[in-house]
Amino acid sequence: MAEELRFDGRVAVVTGAGGGLGRAYARLLAARGAQVVVNDPGASLAGEGENRRPADRVVEEITSAGGEGVASYDSVEVGERIVQQALDQFGRIDIVINNAGILRDRTFHKMTLEEWEAVYRVHLFGAFRVTHAAWPHFRSQQYGRVVMTSSSSGIFGNFGQANYAAMKLGQMGLANTLALEGERYNIRVNTIAPYAGSRMTEGLMPPDLFAALAPERVAPLVVFLCHERCPVSGKKYEVGGNWMAELRWERTRGLQFALDQEVTPEAVAGGWEILSDWSDPDVPTSSADAFQVILGGSDGRSSK
């Protein structure tokens, strides 16, 4: 049997851990020996109100199973307090899972500034605040693991979720750069797009699918991404119902005109088929790599 992946001596902050996915991450990390800050202000799905019960309950579950956890009731908007609590309580911080989330669904033409801003503050600003507060500790100890939470809404779009989709893909953009900046400090930053039955998706799917998508079926991948043996950074995964896959950017080979050619909109229209030809995709893995095709003259096919 494979050796158990342990987290003894590691301290984790899991935001939005009072229920759903965050609770499953916190419990699994604690069961593997991590000391866990269970962060949750106990807000409603829309991000309103406060309730200490959800975070307290998860800490109780962790301690009654023999693990170690502490409740934190701060909003991720004041992320430095959550990180400070990890330091005060457990003396270090090794892992941040940016999981907190709310919804303020509305079609774009009816969306208010407040609805946009509220979703921004929890998902993107909150992920920034918590990670930014942990970052100096990660650098100085030459160790850190971060998981960002994106969504298929951001990757593909979802009707009525312009605010949420933007912030969820924003977390992925943040992770892409943090993975580069963290590389020499052994800080690994990866992103997941989960599919889970939680209060966020309750009523949106039949009960058997809801049960199949238990948060506990997302947690093993997330916990592995938090382990010291995690071999990757800057990667993206879709995960749910015991299924998991890596996601990446691709592009077509492209349409290259000669540089001495005057390119007209009509020429673009004429080359549309080549521009959109996915038969032999190109998979750049860095922005330098992506730019190379232009710098070096295209290996794409030119238009007639």
Where do contacts with ligand NAI occur on this chain (CB under 6 A)?
Answer: 15-16, 18-22, 39-43, 45, 47, 54, 75-77, 99-102, 122, 126, 149, 151, 194-196, 198-201
CB of 184 to ligand NAI, least distance (A): 29
Among 164, 185, 195, 237, the active-site one is: 164
DSSP string, 28-76: HHHHTT-EEEEE-----TTS-S--SHHHHHHHHHHHHTT-EEEEE---G
Q: Is the dihedral of CA 12, 15, 19, 20 positive or negative?
A: negative
* CB half-sphere exposure, 100, CA atoms < 13 A: 38
CB of 265 to ligand NAI, least distance (A): 39
Ranked by CB distance to ligand NAI, the top (closest) residue is: 20
Q: Which residue in this structure is represented by tokens 């979802």?
A: 158
φ and ψ at residue 255, rounded to 5 degrees: -115, 115
CB of 123 to ligand NAI, least distance (A): 6
Q: Which residue in this structure is represented by tokens 């038969």?
A: 279
- Rounded-to-integer distance, Cα 36 and Cα 34, Å: 6
Select 47 or 173, whichever has its Cβ closest to ligand NAI: 47
Is there a catalytic annotation at residue 25? no
CB of 174 to ligand NAI, least distance (A): 14
CB of 242 to ligand NAI, least distance (A): 14
Select 22 or 67, whichever has its Cβ closest to ligand NAI: 22
Select 82 or 255, whichever has its Cβ closest to ligand NAI: 82
Helix H segments across the chain?
20-31, 53-64, 79-90, 113-119, 126-141, 152-156, 162-182, 207-212, 219-225, 265-270, 272-275, 287-295
Select 215 or 300, whichever has its Cβ closest to ligand NAI: 215
Is 255 within 8 Å of 290 (Cβ atoms)?
no
Select 75 or 256, whichever has its Cβ closest to ligand NAI: 75
Residues assigned a catalytic role: 164
